[in-house]
């Protein structure tokens, strides 16, 4: 629900966040254990069990699920991290300020992700074509890379938890060490002028996902001598999605990840592991199982993917344009808005008059397409949509609760005018 703010949040230095998300401290502890376990299990399902679900029958099965780190994997990770850091610092781009915190602090962000991603992708493709980079060799280090990234996330979460407590007068957290380790104690940790959360979400999370979406089809070509239709559909659709992210990289600054959520284990793990390793499960599965996909079905899935993309991108553009200019026409007509007691306006026309989060509908449609391209031989490649749907449902509920606190009775009026949450006339 796009809204235009005319007020600045009041400072409240003594306030502490309640430990009420994800089941509180016990839920945070469970997720801290479950997230790495799920990631290792899914890697094992593809790499060791041909893309099928499996049940460990001994301690040896469990330990085999966690690959031992290697120096080769460490070198790959180190070089990639260094290249992204250099490109972030030296590539030309706009420097913009983010939203002010409740204490008036504003972090700086360098918006040059599109150029950095294109350069990274170009270097990667050139390395593959020239033979300097072997996709098959990188694939052999996939498990060790996964373990290294999990360990990095744990260490980074511990470091930022300590850093947040040193800024206790400027940060908001609960005081419960387990919960704060998972959720974080610092909103915008910086290295110099650079926001680490923005860098790791954009350049490492999305950038690594993009690199893997190039490496995996290249590995299929190297191993099998041809590209399957399923690999082509999934990789091209994902690369379009990732490229779109970098084209509109500045919109990340208004997302809940950046403006609301502290950088704790949840986000560190998401950026380093969950996004690049689990979001490419479709390609990993295709490489292992080689499912068949007819050309006719492939065309239908691509059309559905871009229909979802249109809803996703057009609804987000409506939101952004409304925030910049509340009088700008929506679908060729003057926007329908609702005034609030805060002095703000809520948009209730266009996509945002049909549902409060129509953009989520587009996102979920694309997610489903990537999974359907893998056929029905296993549930493993469907992990993305099975995880993503509850995530967006939860995010919509959290956003709704935040807006209820912010707007009060005005939000009740708004939800009566726009009753559908994500899917018009359904939900």
Alpha carbons 153 and 358: distance in angstroms, whole number: 32
DSSP helix/strand/coil, 255:
coil
Question: Comparing C-alpha atoms, which of 319, 422, 277 is closest to residue 363?
Answer: 422
Alpha carbons 56 and 219: distance in angstroms, whole number: 28
Summarised one tens digit per residue, pLDDT across range 381-399 is: 999 999 999 989 988 998 8
Q: What is the pLDDT of residue 188?
A: 82
Token pair of 126 as six digits: 């050139």
DSSP helix/strand/coil, 56:
coil
How remote is the C-alpha of 43 from its chain's centroid?
19
Q: Where is mean pLDDT largest: 6-10, 202-206, 345-349?
A: 202-206
In the predicted structure, residue 342 carries a pLDDT above the cut 90: no
pTM of this prediction? Answer: 0.88
Token pair of 370 as six digits: 């990537």
Taking residues 23-49, report their average pLDDT. Answer: 94
DSSP secondary structure code for residue 425 in this structure: T
User: Under a CB-based contact definition with an 8 Å cutoff, are residues 192 and 41 in contact?
Assistant: no
């Amino acid at each position: 629900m796009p809204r235009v703010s005319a007020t600045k949040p009041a400072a409240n230095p003594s306030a502490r966040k309640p430990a009420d998300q994800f089941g509180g401290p016990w839920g945070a502890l469970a997720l801290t254990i479950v997230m790495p376990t799920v990631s290792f299990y899914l890697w094992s399902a593809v790499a060791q069990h041909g893309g099928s679900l499996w049940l460990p029958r001994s301690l040896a099965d469990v330990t085999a699920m966690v690959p031992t780190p290697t120096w080769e994997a460490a070198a790959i990770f180190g070089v990639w991290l260094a290249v992204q850091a250099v490109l972030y610092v030296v590539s030309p781009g706009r420097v913009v300020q983010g939203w002010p915190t409740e204490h008036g602090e504003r972090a700086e962000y360098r918006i040059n992700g599109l150029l950095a991603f294109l350069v990274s992708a170009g270097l990667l493709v050139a390395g593959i074509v020239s033979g300097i980079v072997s996709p098959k060799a990188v694939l052999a280090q996939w498990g060790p890379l996964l373990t290294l990234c999990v360990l990095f996330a744990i260490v980074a979460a511990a470091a930022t938890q300590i850093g947040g407590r040193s800024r206790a007068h400027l940060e908001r957290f609960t005081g419960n060490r387990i919960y704060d380790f998972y959720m974080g104690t610092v909103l915008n940790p910086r290295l110099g002028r650079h926001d680490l959360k923005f860098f790791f979400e954009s350049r490492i999370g999305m950038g690594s996902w993009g690199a893997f979406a190039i490496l995996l089809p290249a590995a299929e070509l190297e191993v099998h001598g041809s590209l399957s239709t399923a690999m082509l559909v999934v990789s091209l659709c994902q690369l379009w999605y990732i490229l779109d992210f970098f084209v509109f990289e500045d919109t990340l600054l208004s997302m809940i990840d950046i403006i609301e959520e502290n950088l704790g284990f949840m986000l560190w793990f998401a950026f380093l592991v969950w996004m690049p390793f689990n979001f490419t499960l479709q390609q990993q599965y295709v490489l292992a199982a080689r499912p068949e996909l007819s050309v006719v079905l492939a065309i239908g899935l691509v059309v559905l993917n871009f229909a979802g993309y249109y809803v996703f991108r057009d609804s987000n553009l409506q939101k952004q344009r409304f925030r910049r200019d509340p009088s700008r026409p929506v679908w060729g007509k003057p926007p329908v808005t609702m005034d609030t007691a805060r002095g703000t306006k809520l948009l209730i026309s266009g996509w945002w008059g049909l549902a409060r989060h129509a953009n989520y509908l587009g996102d979920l449609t694309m997610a489903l397409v990537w999974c359907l391209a893998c056929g029905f031989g296993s549930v493993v490649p469907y992990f993305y949509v099975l995880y993503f749907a509850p995530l967006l449902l939860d995010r919509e509920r959290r956003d709704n609760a935040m807006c209820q606190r912010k707007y009060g009775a005005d939000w009740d009026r708004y939800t009566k005018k726009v009753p559908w949450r994500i899917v018009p006339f359904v939900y």
